[in-house]
């Protein structure tokens, strides 16, 4: 089973996002406490939150209709 998608997604970050991710990666204590080991990890975690919210909201709508 493949862990990642076959075609990598290229993402252009805003400057403040790039700056903040660089700060996070230089703060080893924070980084490890959040399970972030690379810029890709940070992006995936953010996307996972959005995906989970979407699925939860969709399930609630399906139950109430």
Q: Using CA atoms, how far apart are residues 40 and 48, in angstroms rounded to an integer?
A: 12
Q: Per-domain residue ranges for the chain? A: 15-64
> In Å, how far are 4, 19, 27, 57 from 65, measured between CA atoms?
34, 44, 46, 12
Least confident range of 2-11, 21-30, 48-57:
2-11
Which pLDDT tens digit goes with each residue over 9-47?
Answer: 899 999 999 999 999 999 999 999 999 999 999 999 999
pLDDT at 65 over 70: no
């Amino acid at each position: 089973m493949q862990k990642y998608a076959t075609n990598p997604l290229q993402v252009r970050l805003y400057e403040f996002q790039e700056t903040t991710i660089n700060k996070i990666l230089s703060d080893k204590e924070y980084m490890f406490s959040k399970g972030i080991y690379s810029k890709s990890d940070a992006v995936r975690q953010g996307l996972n939150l959005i995906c989970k919210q979407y699925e939860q909201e969709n399930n609630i709508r399906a139950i109430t209709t």
